[in-house]
Structure formats: C-alpha cells, structure tokens
Amino acid sequence: MPEKERPRTEIERLLQDYLNYLEIEKNRSPRTSENYKHYLNEFLKSTKVSSPAGITDGVVREFRVALARREGLKRVTQGYYAIALRNFLKYLAKRDIKTLSAEKIELPKVPGRQIDTLEYGDLERLLAAPKGDSLRDLRDKAVLEMFFSTGLRLAELCALGRGIDLKRGELSVRGKGDKLRVVFVSDSARDAVQRYLAARARAGGAGDAEDKLFVSLDRLGRVIGPITPRAVQRLVAARATQAGIPNHIHAHLLRHSFATDLLVNGADLRSVQELLGHANISTTQVYTHLTNNQLRDVHKAFHGARRKEG
C-alpha cells in the first residue's frame, strides 16, 4: 500500500492559500508563485514552524542569520527570502490571523545595481553583423533590430506572434505581472522583420511555430520550432563575436542599450519606465548612472561659459 500523505500543518495550509491568492487575485506569474513557494517552504522547513503564532521575531532572526552565513548566498537573494516572508505576513494580517507584524521584517541593504551597456559603436556593429540573405541571417537581423527598437525582455520577444501589425509601427506586449504595454517598432526593425517573414514564407515548414514570429533553425537552416530564449542568447553571442566585440554580450544588454539611448537623447524617466514596463520608477533609475558621461560633457560645455569669456 502506498504510504499515507502526511497531514498538512496549519501554516502549510495557509501558505497554499497564499500561493493561490497570488495567482488568482493578484495575477502574479507562475514563476513568481514558484519563487515564493520555494523561499517560504525553505523558511518553514528550516524553522519547523507549524502555525502563524510560531513565526516570532526570534525565529525569523535565527533564520536570517543562517542565510547570511550560507556560503555563496548573495545578499540580494537573502533579500528575496525577506520579501517573500514579509508579503506572506501581510497576507495573514489581512485575514486577521495573529502572527508577527510584517513591519518587523527589515530588508537587507544591497549595493546599487550596476547596469552594463554597449558602446554605441559596438551596438552599430552588432546590429549590422547579419549581412546575408539566408533565413538565419535575416532572422538574426530582425531579432537584433526588434530588441533595440522595442526594449523587449527576452521572454517577451520569444512570445511575439506572427500576426503583429507592422504597418502601425506599434504592438501590445504582455509583460511581467500579465500587464499590457505598447512598444514601438522603428523603420529599420520593421524592414528587417518584413524581409525575414518573406524568406520564412519561402522556406515553409513552420509546423508548430506557425503562429510565432521568430523560429528556431537547425544547422541546415530548417525551421524546427518556435524560437527559445536559449537560441536567442546563442545568436546574440555569435553575432557579437562576428562583430568583433570582445566582451560577453547577452540579449538583455540590448534592452539596457534601448533604455540608455532614450535617456541620453533626452527622454524623461517616466516615459522610459512606461516603455520598459517597469512597475516602479526606482527600477528604471538604475539606468541614469549610464548618462553621467553625457552630463559631464554638458557641464563642461555650458557651466561658467561667461567666466571663460572674461
């Protein structure tokens, strides 16, 4: 006979309720729910807490000390545990369940995020790297141009449907948190996608990739399915090598370059936030340090100009 499943504790039942709440009422992505499940299950397993009342200041402190002493666990990851626990406590309080106050959970301070981006010359060489008329060359050109034109995330680009309306020069994208936003397609990106789609129509054999904009190809250039994030990462790295860019280049760098290009050319932070699909402007502000060189040039050119004349 199969072993009987262990009855769930009160806190385990409440955790499942919370995960359902995240998915159904808060409309969080499955990935977010999975991450919260991982962090909170590890907390329960480590502390052996069985009820909300068992979550005390001392229990949480001991758990966080253990995390801090865990070899190789970054402070930002420790912060994810704290965020998950704090939000779970807020949910319990919302249901009038007696437990530790969420305000007792302080988030660890982490160093400001540093964003890498491409030098403009490197960016131009990367975009120009696919030069042929093969389906692979035309696809890679379209992928790179779409990334830089729209600032899409990797998963968002892979999810694009084949039936996008290129004539309008804009498309709706469903991003993190299932939120819709509008992104804009430049003339160069539209031309690249149109040339790619024409070549793809001639090649045929789309199969289950028929409804997706971008496809994966085998070594002979035949369509083998919808494009995957891993395939996109490989093509970006390969084209960067072809362009003679020595540094490791990944797909997200093109999103960074999109944001930096807008800011350097005078776009306001709120607009860039909307175009990137950031929920909080603080996330967008990490890009502002990249414009420091341009600000320094402005200061040098314009500050104290009358004193120089004297």
Q: Which pLDDT band holds residue 115 (cuts at 50, 70, 90)?
A: low
Q: Which domains does the chain have, with CATH numbers?
A: 10-104 (1.10.150), 120-296 (1.10.443.10)
Give per-residue pLDDT as tens, 42-69: 999 999 999 999 999 999 999 999 999 9
Give per-residue pLDDT as tens, 256-300: 888 888 887 888 888 888 888 888 887 777 777 656 555 556 556
Of 200 and 111, more confident: 200
Q: What is the pLDDT of residue 75?
A: 83
- Alpha carbons 88 and 68: distance in angstroms, whole number: 21
Q: Provide the annotated active-site residues.
A: 153, 176, 252, 255, 278, 287
- Alpha carbons 236 and 185: distance in angstroms, whole number: 19
Whether the per-residue pLDDT at 177 is higher than 80: the answer is no
Under 8 Å CB-to-CB from 156, ≥6 apart: which residues? 173, 174, 175
- Note the residue count of the chain: 310
- Whether pTM exceeds 0.75: no
Give Cα 21 distance to the centre of its chain.
Answer: 23
Whether the per-residue pLDDT at 309 is higher than 70: the answer is no
Give Cα 202 distance to the centre of its chain.
Answer: 34
Q: What is the pLDDT of residue 152?
A: 92
Under 8 Å CB-to-CB from 64, ≥6 apart: which residues? 78, 81, 82
Give per-residue pLDDT as tens, 64-111: 999 999 888 888 888 899 999 999 999 999 999 999 999 999 877 655
Structure tokens that stand for 114 in this block? 């540093």
Q: What is the pLDDT of residue 206?
A: 65
Q: What is the pLDDT of residue 208?
A: 61
Whether the per-residue pLDDT at 186 is higher than 50: the answer is yes
Q: What is the pLDDT of residue 1?
A: 41
